[in-house]
Structure 1
């Protein structure tokens, strides 16, 4: 008798960037109402999702990325942690990729929102990456430590966002190293992309003639925000700046034909952005067994 499948295969996908191996790790996905989108009518957002054969309410993938260069191992973001039934897979996928948490020597954080910091600590609040240096943009660190900024938020965001961020900052306080720009790991350069949060950061991975820009949360809902880059998110700290940053980076990666990856692009989350008329079209990379691919 054959048994029915009860779960998907591990969410692990490798891509070599020169001498650097990048591994996309799925944490799962989250569904949220269209009211979490701003600067676009809900019926317009629903129409875009419907035309792209996506569910309404909107579905957002959650990913992290492992970077291995020589004997160095970095993890970019840690996902939500086991907070909902559809997320919390990153730690298991990291293990499926053959990497123990203890071997991660650097944590690179795009920013401190719950779907990025949730997997930093266990239920007891202890670090899950005990040997890692914790690297974060200086403006991001300052924002989540700012009592005035916390007081300006509603009670729910104070608890989940500020409370959660501060708990993780406390857990990694002894191994925190702040940056503003420049190389933050061998072959990895920080690219400030402010707006979503003050210190929101992308990471450009480059080796030889190859490069990949992990652009963090430039988009949350690609089916909506690629054709309508003015669409913002309710969690944007500065929505106008987030939209301006999105337009700037769209122009840059399309002009340069820069390979991209994102925390909220559908897994395995590697793509290019092509110009289409006055706008853009996201072109997902084809699945390949070749680690080098066509980046």
Structure 2
């Protein structure tokens, strides 16, 4: 025994006294004065997959909330909000603004460009997403626009400057003739009238440079890319079907704005449609084609990455099967 008290003989009170006595010599960390500040925001959005030999990258330009019940056409009272609630979604319904990049080996192709600055803080993320995905806007060779609405062509410019220095812009001649002619403003409602000056401004630099080339018909635009006319949402609304190695993906633009609403009931239209009956017919045809053929579908306003399959869910009704997230794409 060397003058100390064996631990086995110390009572609880003695142990407490020893600990208390040594506390003055032990540095006790002080509690953090503040929590780490919240950073906010999300990572620039991209998602990669392959269709045959073609690399397809979904790009997120932004998200845009809108009053789904207010803008729906042909829905029963309360139907839209009820269908959203079935998916635990609120109203305003926050829709995506997606675009898609296709590396074809010899060409880098962009399908739609997002909204740029035309939707304020709700858009403008496309350039960041392209760079995050490993590319730069200057590498884009061809841009295929599904239709000349602000959230599909607005990204041709950002902060007042053209974004794509080397790209040729392709869009159906019927859509170009409509939106680039102010006389057609009398053919749309107040909601769509502002699209005319906005679209004319963003395409102007490409027109001046000789890099705006409207097309007619459904002949292949590049080996592997076929345009499919689908008028209704706009006069020249166009799908693009990409095919290789027995695989297909349909870039269908604005066939669907509110997935939880318009797949269960494809007859529900939206105020942004130029011709409601034609838009409904185009949607029903696209849903049937995609289901029957088992195509991948890429949608501009479907929850990011906006890629999946359509399956029948009863007579005239469909459901969405989203792409399974994978690191092996």
TM-score, normalised by the number of residues in structure 1: 0.93
Q: Name the CA distance, whole Å, in 2 between partners of 1:152 and 1:245.
A: 20
Question: 5+ residue gaps in structure 1?
Answer: none
* SS in structure 1 of the partner of residue 201 of structure 2: helix
* SS in structure 2 of the partner of residue 182 of structure 1: coil
1:142 is aligned to 177
Are 1:261 and 2:295 counterparts?
no
Q: Deviations over 1:6-51 (max 9, x none)?
A: 2222211001111110100011211111211111135110000011
Structure 1 residues 118-133: aligned runs within 5 Å: 118-124=154-160, 126-133=161-168
Q: Name the CA distance, whole Å, in 2 between partners of 1:151 and 1:194.
A: 19
Q: Deviations over 1:199-234 (max 9, x none)?
A: 111111111111111111110000000011011110
Aligned length: 289
Structure 1 residues 1-295: aligned runs within 5 Å: 4-33=38-67, 34-82=69-117, 83-124=119-160, 126-154=161-189, 157-158=192-193, 160-173=194-207, 174-179=210-215, 180-278=217-315, 279-291=317-329
**Contact in 2 for aligned 1:66/1:76 (Cα 8 Å):** yes
Q: Deviations over 1:221-264 (max 9, x none)?
A: 00000011011110100011000110111111111111111101
**Contact in 2 for aligned 1:35/1:42 (Cα 8 Å):** no
**Contact in 2 for aligned 1:45/1:224 (Cα 8 Å):** yes
Measured after TM superposition, the shift of residue 156 of structure 1 is 5.8
Higher relative CO (Cα under 8 Å, sequence separation at least 6) belongs to: 1
Q: Name the CA distance, whole Å, in 2 between partners of 1:265 and 1:155.
A: 26
Q: Deviations over 1:98-141 (max 9, x none)?
A: 111111111110001011111111333x3211211110101111
Q: Name the CA distance, whole Å, in 1 between partners of 2:200 and 2:155.
A: 14
Q: Name the CA distance, whole Å, in 2 between partners of 1:86 and 1:240.
A: 29
**Contact in 2 for aligned 1:59/1:221 (Cα 8 Å):** no
Q: Deviations over 1:163-207 (max 9, x none)?
A: 111222322112112222221233211111110001111111111
**Contact in 2 for aligned 1:112/1:165 (Cα 8 Å):** yes
Q: Name the CA distance, whole Å, in 2 between partners of 1:112 and 1:68.
A: 23
**Contact in 1 for aligned 2:99/2:300 (Cα 8 Å):** yes
* SS in structure 2 of the partner of residue 185 of structure 1: coil
From the CA coordinates, give the structure whose radius of gyration is larger: 2
TM-score, normalised by the number of residues in structure 2: 0.84
Q: CA RMSD in A?
A: 1.6
Question: 5+ residue gaps in structure 2?
Answer: 1-34
